[in-house]
A and B are shown apart, each in its own frame.
Chain A
């Protein structure tokens, strides 16, 4: 059966859920970041798939690029924060980073 739009969407959905699972379960902040990257990738697949399979010409891809770029910026800042967190708490397990105080 030829590969239609739904296949890509299903793939994206699976990736999304895996990413979500990682974000929820992993205690290690970096892994959580990886999970987030995974989620963003899933979204990107959808964008490109729609750009390919519907009549919006290149918008999907441009959007995908912007997502990639923003993801990069986000990852950079997030990681900086994680390092800072590590500096303070000597560990980057998220469940230990639950106090709001300074």
Chain B
């Protein structure tokens, strides 16, 4: 049952990623991205990372995608639907992409991973909470500073523009 779910979500993700990459219009890419994020969230669920899945949905779909859509809206002069995004040097890019893909596949298949699979599905939120507060305290505080920086920076740039 679980495998079926994996293949389903994998197909969904890859299909939507394909839509995003190969679509002409930016909005279609955005929709593609939406379903990709949803697919990836599904994958996290299958990997028993429930908090991360929901966080993914919340931040990526609720936050970044909205932002991207806003960005698109604000930066499109061309009317309505036909917002073409031209592409350049597709052929060489395709070759290189396939090459990199080939490399990754070789690497993945070649190396033996220290696999010690877990079978149970426990809720992760509590553990994450404690971990964040103890082991990862410093990155936690640094992230706050990072966010502050990003906020001030982006606000400043947006306002200046």
Contacts and interface: CB of A to CB of B under 8 A. Distances in A.
Interface in B93-128: 93-94, 96-98, 100-101, 104-105, 108-109, 113-118, 124, 127-128
Interface residues of A, number: 75
Interface on chain B toward A: helix, strand, loop, or mixed SS?
helix
Nearest to B152: A77
Interface string B136-159: 100100010011011101110110
B115 to A, nearest CB: 5
How big is the B interface, by class?
A: 35 or more
A27 B108 contact: no
Contacts, number: 233
Interface in A1-15: 2-11, 13-15
Interface of B: 2-3, 6, 10, 13-14, 17-18, 20-21, 26, 29-30, 33, 36-37, 40, 43-44, 46-49, 51-52, 55-56, 59-60, 63-64, 67-68, 70-72, 74-75, 77, 85-90, 93-94, 96-98, 100-101, 104-105, 108-109, 113-118, 124, 127-128, 131-132, 135-136, 139, 143, 146-147, 149-151, 153-155, 157-158, 160-161
